[in-house]
Amino acid sequence: MGKTLIRESWDNASKGYRDGLGSQLHPVAIRLASLLPDTLPGPVLDLACGPGTVLFYLSRKRKGVKGIACDFSIEMGKLARERNPGVKTVVADQDCLPFREGSLGAVVSSMGTIFSSDHGSQLKMISKTLMDGGFLGFSAWGEKKDCALRRVSEEITKKWPHSTPEAVPSLDSPFALGGSDWLGRASSEAGLEVLKVESGDLIFDFQNISEAAHSLVHTGRFALLLKNHQEWLEPLTSLACEHFYPYQETSGRVRLSNRFHLFVLQKKSMGKSSDYPVAASGVR
């Protein structure tokens, strides 16, 4: 996949995403931040940070958090710095991180790591960057059947008549199942312990169809469809409107339910047991 094109797409969509679809992801970021311990052993990396929402909420309740915002998009990094004054920003591919081994106390990500090209290898890479006892907290969408907005997004992509130079990144990932045999195996191979898996439903709530369509087309995934052809924006928005009609309520609002999963993992520390408050099974 052309990395330059993906970067340009998210650069172009950065503010539209922050003010649109990204603004509705705050409840997921808030809950994810609450699942991490009050005290973390070192610097916190917000990976595939977007506008830096998770880092923002993580820092609100914890004094002295040394934050690092990392995204492949230069413009997203700028937005993360605006939201989190004083943080360091790093522009890097999430599958090729430039951090020293054992240099991070925690890595967090809100709907970012699902776009990794190899999730198992990414877990191993993240584990290497963590200090012993460090934490990984991230979120992922559930299965397609449980995610209405994902279904709408994929249907629009299929029906878009213009060819795309690169495949639109999939919203699917092995994390879509939540707790699974794959998660336990991949985490163990990476030297990580699964402490908690929590699931919930996020309702995307738009005032009307126009707002819903506008929010969706102003994302990096849909910027790939446009290929810098601004004259295509109106027909793409119209196509999006058509697919939102089934979700419009009598009030005019558009509401779509989407399943999500939250994960908390910890790097195993030799000779020490975790004091994280979790059930014996490791999954709730």
82-98 pLDDT, tens digit each: 999 999 999 999 999 99
Half-sphere exposure of residue 228, counting CA atoms within 13 Å on the CB side?
A: 6
Q: Domain 3-143+170-203+258-267, what fold?
A: Rossmann fold (3.40.50)
pTM above 0.75, yes or no: yes
The amino acid that residue 104 corresponds to is L
- Residue ranges with strand state E in 120-252: 130-141, 192-206
Please say if the pLDDT value at position 211 is more than 90.
Answer: yes
Could you state, in order of their start, the residue ranges of all structural domains in the chain?
3-143+170-203+258-267
CA distance 146 to 141: 9
CA distance 7 to 223: 10
> Does 138 have pLDDT greater than 80?
yes
Classify residue 88 by burial, with Cβ atoms within 10 Å: 0-12, 13-18, 19+.
middle
Mean of pLDDT values over 22-43: 96
Burial of residue 223 (number of CB atoms within 10 Å: 0-12, 13-18, 19+)? buried
Percent of the chain scoring above 70 in pLDDT: 93
